[in-house]
Amino acid sequence: MFTGIVQGIAVFLYMKKINSMYYEFSIQIPDILLKNIKIGNSISNNGCCLTVVKIFKNIVSFHLIKETFKKTNLKFLKKGDQVNIERAAKFGDEIGGHLVSGHIITTVQIINILKKKDTCTFLLKLNNDYFKKYIFYKGFICLDGVSLTIGKILDNSFYVHIIPETLLSTNFVYKKINSFLNLEIDFLSQAIVDTCTRSMNK
Q: Given this model, what pLDDT does residue 58 score?
A: 95
Asked if CATH classification 2.40.30.20 holds for the domain at 106-200, the reply, yes or no, is yes
Q: Given this model, what pLDDT does residue 99 score?
A: 79
- Cα–chain center distance at 183: 6
- Find the DSSP H helices in 41-103: 66-71
The CATH number given to 8-87 is: 2.40.30.20
How does DSSP assign 40-53, residue by residue?
Answer: T-EEEETTEEEEEE
* Among 33, 51, 47, 62, residue whose Cα is nearest residue 3: 47
Which phi and psi angles does 75 have, rounded to 5°?
A: -70, -15
* C-alpha to C-alpha distance for 83 and 193, rounded to whole angstroms: 31
Please list the helix, strand and coil fractions of the chain in percent, rounded to the nearest 5, in that order.
20, 45, 35
Q: Given this model, what pLDDT does residue 92 score?
A: 63
Q: Given this model, what pLDDT does residue 97 score?
A: 66
Q: Given this model, what pLDDT does residue 197 score?
A: 81
* C-alpha to C-alpha distance for 172 and 102, rounded to whole angstroms: 18
Domains 8-87 and 106-200 alike in fold = yes
Domain boundaries, the chain: 8-87, 106-200
Cα distances from 137 to residues 3, 95, 140, in angstroms, run 20, 22, 9
Q: Given this model, what pLDDT does residue 19 score?
A: 93
pLDDT tens digit at each of 202 positions of the chain: 898 999 999 999 999 999 999 999 999 999 999 999 999 999 999 999 999 999 999 999 999 999 999 999 999 999 999 999 999 877 666 666 677 889 999 999 999 999 988 789 999 999 888 899 899 999 989 999 999 999 999 988 999 999 999 999 999 999 999 999 999 998 777 778 878 888 887 7
